[in-house]
Amino acid sequence: MISPQPYVAVVTGASSGIGEATARRLAREPGVRLVLVARRKERLDQLAESVGGATVVAVDLTEAAAPQSVREAIERTHGSELHLLVNNAGARWAGTFGETGWANVERHMRIDFDAQVRLTEALLPLLRTTAGSAPGRVAIVNVSSTSGRVARPNGGGYSAAKFALAGWSDALAAEELAYGVHVGLVLPGFIATEGFPAAELRSHPIGRFIVSRPEVVADAIVDCALRGKAERYAPRYYWLAAAARVLAPRLVARAVAGGAFTTATNAGERD
């Protein structure tokens, strides 16, 4: 639990799924002042009302002016104070590279990596300034994916962006340590959300046991943000997939190529 003093938290992709669950989880902490970011203003307004009030920024984070718009909204309502940035917004479109080519990789990079980096660049000065007066309370949490450690067929574009986000997060964590800004990484497994319904997995007698809820990821984000965890898989047991990829890469490659865990959503929805 954080201090009852004001604690300003930005959550992107907040209109549904993991972002919405994270906003609701953070709203239970005393002193939190939420800044909700996504494209769908009506959804954000409804969420803001349900959590007792929040600053709403309805923008498409892939647009050039979006990072500055978010920063200006924070400065209008909270001055230069910013304690937490949760980079959660993302999307996934299925397809092999042979079928979808560079265009599919590029659109994944724009929303799942470039947008996170650009927003962080715009808000990092606020985070560093706040860290100078609130040591130990300032964090960036980047939401990657277990697919950012273990890639699957039909998801190469998504994995490329999530691998990039994980690698960049590792470097950023080391760089920002001296400034008092903690950087955490959350890697969800299969999570049933509006954009990622995982319907095929949930209909399978075994597959349904590996599909989890957005609230599980929200708890992992809070662990990184408020308790200083460096990295969390959500659910926790998904670390086994990443460990197997390192310890037995050939075995994992055969399993994946043979169809294991390839029944992922074809969703192209975005928060």
* 184: enclosing H helix or E strand: strand 182-188
Helices marked H in 93-238: 97-109, 115-133, 156-176, 199-202, 214-227
Which residue(s) pair with 38 in the sheet?
58
**How far from 137 is each of 36, 76, 169, 201, CA to CA, in Å?**
19, 22, 18, 38
d(CA 29, CA 250): 45
Could you write out the DSSP letters of every residue in 87-98? E---------HH
Give me the catalytic one of 158, 233, 237, 238.
158
Token readout for 196 is: 């990622």
**Burial class, 44, CB count within 10 angstroms (exposed 0-12 / middle 13-18 / buried 19+):** buried
The yes-or-no answer on residue 7 being catalytic is no
d(CA 179, CA 155): 36
Q: Catalytic residues, which ones?
A: 158
